[in-house]
């Protein structure tokens, strides 16, 4: 489980933008992760790997929108032809202190639930562990958490709510089934909408697996075992409650018999390795 000591080691600069963020995450971990079904170190590792990349391990909690006109052309080449075109389309000029806001209102306007002709684009920029973006994104996340994030989107950055906001978003984006299969590509696509920073996310996942003790499949625990056997067609399907009872033992025996292993009903290293190998990779 996530502890304060572990958070401080993994995110040494985690409080650089939000004082107390690391402590807040550690304090809420025991409540938040089970609430949203992240019941194994493997699942927590996947979530924390994504968060570590998305928010720069706490150092980039709010999206940087201070683009220059030249940078805007590079980031959105299909939208802007040159710097003059940028200024014309966003209604700005060189040296305009309001340029960043006008730019983002233009680029993000009429997307992600943002209302054209308003400041929704620059108001609902990426924030939090998962970089929630867009009026619609904040509205849905707020409904899930029971918070009015439209009135106060900064709540996703607070120590008290940051972890739950990130985990709730992780679940709402459909990441959990892919995390259960240890499929980082699928997790990344559903959270990010693409595969931006894939190699960095993979590096973070290795770090978190090692830190949480989830690097070895034998350490995933009974919930992982039950979920994996269900994914492989256990009959009857198991309740993934973390209790290694007779039904789980019988499912292990059935798997062992099918794969030429010693049929003893025990989740030994050889059996775990065989289950890991049998799980789909995508």
Residue ranges of domains in the chain: 4-59+156-213, 69-123, 219-278
What is the predicted pLDDT for the residue at 281?
Answer: 64
What is the predicted pLDDT for the residue at 70?
Answer: 96
pLDDT, mean over the chain: 92
**How large is the angle between the packed helices 41-54 and 184-192, nearest 10 degrees?**
50
The mean pLDDT value for 109-132 works out to 95
The per-residue pLDDT for range 141-157, each reduced to its tens digit, is 999 999 999 999 999 99
272 or 147: which leads in pLDDT? 147
The per-residue pLDDT for range 19-38, each reduced to its tens digit, is 999 999 999 999 999 999 99
| CB-neighbour burial class of residue 31 (10 A; exposed 0-12, middle 13-18, buried 19+) | exposed
List the single range of 14-18, 148-152, 182-186 with lowest mean pLDDT: 182-186
What is the predicted pLDDT for the residue at 16?
Answer: 97
What is the predicted pLDDT for the residue at 217?
Answer: 45
CB 142 within 8 A of CB 74: no
- 219-278 domain in CATH 3.30.420? no
The mean pLDDT value for 122-150 works out to 97
47 or 279: which leads in pLDDT? 47
CB 112 within 8 A of CB 136: yes
CB 209 within 8 A of CB 45: yes
What is the predicted pLDDT for the residue at 280?
Answer: 78
Percent of the chain exceeding pLDDT 70 equals 96
The per-residue pLDDT for range 201-249, each reduced to its tens digit, is 999 998 998 888 765 444 456 788 898 999 999 999 999 877 778 899 9
15 or 275: which leads in pLDDT? 15
């Amino acid at each position: 489980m996530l502890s304060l000591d572990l958070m401080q080691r993994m995110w040494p600069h985690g409080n650089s933008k939000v004082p107390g963020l690391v402590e807040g995450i550690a304090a809420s971990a025991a409540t938040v992760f089970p609430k949203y079904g992240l019941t194994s170190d493997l699942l927590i590792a996947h979530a924390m790997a994504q968060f570590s990349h998305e928010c720069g391990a706490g150092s980039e909690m709010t999206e940087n929108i201070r683009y220059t006109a030249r940078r805007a052309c590079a980031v959105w080449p299909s939208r802007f032809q040159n710097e003059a075109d940028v200024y014309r389309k966003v209604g700005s000029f060189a040296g305009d202190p309001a340029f960043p806001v006008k730019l983002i209102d233009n680029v993000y306007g009429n997307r992600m639930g943002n209302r054209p002709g308003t400041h929704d684009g620059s108001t609902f920029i990426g924030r939090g562990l998962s970089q929630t973006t867009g009026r619609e994104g904040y509205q849905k996340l707020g409904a899930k958490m029971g918070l009015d994030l439209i009135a106060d989107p900064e709540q996703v950055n607070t120590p008290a709510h940051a972890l739950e906001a990130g985990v709730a978003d992780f679940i709402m984006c459909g990441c959990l089934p892919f995390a259960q299969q240890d499929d980082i590509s699928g997790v990344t696509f559903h959270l990010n909408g693409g595969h931006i920073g894939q190699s960095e996310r993979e590096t973070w996942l290795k770090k978190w697996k090692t830190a949480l003790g989830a690097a070895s499949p034998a350490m995933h625990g009974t919930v992982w075992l039950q979920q994996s056997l269900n994914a492989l067609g256990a009959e009857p399907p198991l309740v993934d409650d973390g209790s290694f009872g007779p039904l789980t033992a019988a499912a292990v025996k059935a798997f062992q018999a099918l794969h030429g292993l010693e049929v003893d009903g025990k989740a030994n290293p050889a059996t775990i390795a065989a289950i890991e190998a049998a799980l789909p990779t995508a």
